[in-house]
Amino acid sequence: MISRAVLLVAICAAIVGVSYGMHSPIVPVFARDQLAADYSQVGLIGTINYLPYMFAPFFFGMLLDRLNKSYMLVSGVLLNMFSIFMLSTVQSVPEIMLYRTLAGVAHALFWPSAEVLVSTNTTPDRRVKSISTFIAAWILGFMVGPLIGKLILDVFNYIMLFQLAAAIMAAGMVPSMLLRRYGWPAVQKDLEVRAGTVQIMREVAARPTLSSVILYYAITFGVVLAVLPAYMNEASLTSQDIEVLFFLFGISRFATLMFVPRISVYGVLALALAVLATAIAMLLAFVFTSFLSFAIAIALVGLATSIFYPVTFSLVTRDTPSGQIGAKLGIYNALFGSGWTAGPIVAGLSSDAFGSGSPYFAFFVAGSILAGSIVMFKRR
């Protein structure tokens, strides 16, 4: 039976996911189409968006072990709503960078808060199932959002799309505020928290395979969200086509979740499969530029993403006391954020310097090497 707290977090995630799905795939296209941004600027916009996630989760994670988690969740939803609405007013690349930075801070508040609310309101033996419920709701929202975005763009324009996405985000305030009673932290002494944080950082350093997979996942995921839509648009796909492709991305993620409990028992080998699927998707994006090839590539990325997140979450939170979950997830989210931040700007600069398809070939090579290394070390 799903607890009321997990259900409320899932409802909030679904609402926020719809809003993200409506506008996120279109931001790179909007920057290229309306603001005349080049690939380096598109990559920089993505990097600026993800930069707060490189630093904030570590500090927010420690705060989550001390403050009411619902307050931070509400703050994330509010700041998200504001940043999305302000996209409808931008007239230049620096302006869109400013509001994407605010969106990054908002996500750094929202996501760790939601994760910790789920974890601390679930027994360890049901934690993977609860986080799967949360991520399924998020994916469902992110799957429906692009379809709604396509319908809006069929009738209206980018401005209306951003304003309606902000209005839907506002609805996430309701479940966020209802989570107040479930967000109070476990009682811990400051000395225990500091000691636990040092121990957690040592654990992270002692798990290079997990850290490498998280970085690869973060880099490629950041590029898929922040740069790939502009690459698709260059290949003559319309904004509506791109929204449909991200709907397929959501379907793939949602469908894969049903098999994750079976796949997750293989641990790091499951992660090797996800890395390989992502590498193949990158190769497809490099070699072919049709709607069909992009559809297959984005479906493979969706499959990989649904393996990456629950499996890494399970490996990270396993045997972790509830009072240290915030700090531990904060450190790993900061690691994810560093990859998320680096990916778009590296891809953008590479696209301008070596051709728009060059980053995808590089990600194919890197992913193939990483997947092969995981399998070889596991056999030893």
pLDDT value at residue 244? 93
Q: What is the pLDDT of residue 192?
A: 46
Domains of the chain and any CATH numbers = 4-379 (1.20.1250.20)
User: Could you tell me which residues come within 8 angstroms of residue 213 by beta carbon, excluding any fewer than 6 positions away?
Assistant: 268, 271, 274, 275, 308, 312, 370, 374
Encoded tokens for 50: 């993800």
Contacts of 45 (CB under 8 A, 6+ apart): 27, 28, 31, 37, 93, 96, 97, 100, 226, 344
Is pLDDT at 234 greater than 80 in this prediction?
yes
- Could you tell me the two tokens for 290? 């049709």
Question: Binning pLDDT at 50, 70 and 90, where does residue 193 land?
Answer: very low
> pLDDT, tens digit, for every residue of 236-261?
899 999 999 999 998 999 888 888 87
How is residue 26 annotated by DSSP?
G
* pLDDT number for residue 195: 44
Question: Among all chains, which residue has been given the structure tokens 């969106």?
Answer: 103
C-alpha angle with apex 234: 231 to 236, nearest 5 degrees? 120
Q: Tell me which amino acid residue 307 is.
A: I
272 or 53: whose pLDDT is higher?
A: 272
For 195, the token pair is 């000691």
Amino acid symbol at 38: D
Of 275 and 200, which is predicted with more confidence? Answer: 275
- What pLDDT score does 248 carry? 93
Q: What is the DSSP string of 3-60?
A: -HHHHHHHHHHHHHHHHHHHHGGGHHHHHHHHS---HHHHHHHHHHHHTHHHHHHHHH
pTM of the model: 0.83
pLDDT of residue 152: 95
Phi/psi of residue 356, each to 5°? -65, -20
Tokens 């079976």 belong to residue:
262
Among 110-114, 207-211, 297-301, 338-342, the minimum mean pLDDT is found in 207-211
Dihedral angle sign, alpha carbons of residues 353, 354, 360, 364: negative
**Arithmetic mean of pLDDT over the chain:** 86
- CA 256 from centroid of its chain's CA atoms: 16
Look at residue 189 and tell me whether its pLDDT is greater than 60: no
Q: Is the separation of the CB atoms in 234 and 377 below 8 Å?
A: no
Per-residue model confidence (pLDDT) at position 335: 82
Rounded to the nearest angstrom, the gap between the alpha carbon of residue 42 and the centroid of all alpha carbons in its chain is 18
- Contact between 71 and 183 (Cβ < 8 Å): yes
Distance CA 96, CA 87 (A): 7
Query: Treating both helix axes as pointing N-terminal to C-terminal, what angle do 27-34 and 39-50 enclose, rounded to 10 degrees?
Result: 140
Answer yes or no: is pLDDT of 355 > 50: yes
- In Å, what is the CA distance from 273 to each residue of 58, 146, 227, 277? 28, 27, 24, 6
% of the chain beyond a pLDDT of 70: 88
Task: Compute φ and ψ for 17, nearest 5 degrees.
Answer: -60, -40
CA atoms within 13 A on the CB side of 172: 32
Is the pLDDT at 187 greater than 60, yes or no?
Answer: no
